[in-house]
Amino acid sequence: MDWLIFLLCALVAAAVLLGLFAAGWRGRRRRQSDIPRPRPLPEDLDLPRFQAEGQYVATTTAGDWLDRVAVYGLGVKSTATAAVFTEGVFFARTGAPDVWIDRADLRGVRLERGMAGKFVEKDGLVLVTWQLGPKTVDTGFRTRSADHKTPLVSAIKALLPESSATSSEEQL
């Protein structure tokens, strides 16, 4: 009988914790309701310059890697393919909405150790900084193969204006 009481208490505690997590996520989405939806994928894209399979980690407020962007599924981790086109960067995600970053919105790219939900070896995460409406955000991507990190960063860097590309190189 004691184990039944313990089990019931554990189930109630788990339900309360899950409810608190859900309330916190809903509150975050409400506070971020002023963030616009990312641009849709253009219909007339050229072939990708480079693409790599891996994991879309999250999109966070730029410089605050614990402040996930909860709206439009941007803060949800998922398996993805990152593709760099002349027109921008595309994250084709599994189980979550795809993310298109227009070339005009790109602000920088660099390698980092980690961000919300994912910390890896030094320079193990590709971090793309971009403009989402009035907010500057960082999107993290972990390539499946370590050999694809540098070519992915180089392909994205080639899309940046000269001044942004120079500042991104200084951060590496």
Q: Are residues 71 and 151 in the same domain?
A: yes
d(CA 69, CA 28): 8
- Tens digit of each residue's pLDDT (9 = 90 or more) over 91-106: 999 999 999 999 999 9
Specify the higher pLDDT residue, 151 or 16: 151
Q: Are residues 5 and 78 in the same domain?
A: no
The mean pLDDT of the chain is 85
Q: Are residues 18 and 97 in the same domain?
A: no
User: Considering the domain boundaries, does residue 42 fall inside one?
Assistant: no
Domain that holds residue 26: 1-31
Q: Are residues 21 and 67 in the same domain?
A: no
User: Considering the domain boundaries, does residue 45 fall inside one?
Assistant: no
Specify the higher pLDDT residue, 25 or 40: 40
Number of folded domains that form the chain: 2
Whether pLDDT at 78 is above 50: yes
d(CA 10, CA 61): 35
Whether pLDDT at 31 is above 70: no
Q: Are residues 58 and 24 in the same domain?
A: no
Confidence of residue 166 (pLDDT cuts 50, 70, 90): very low
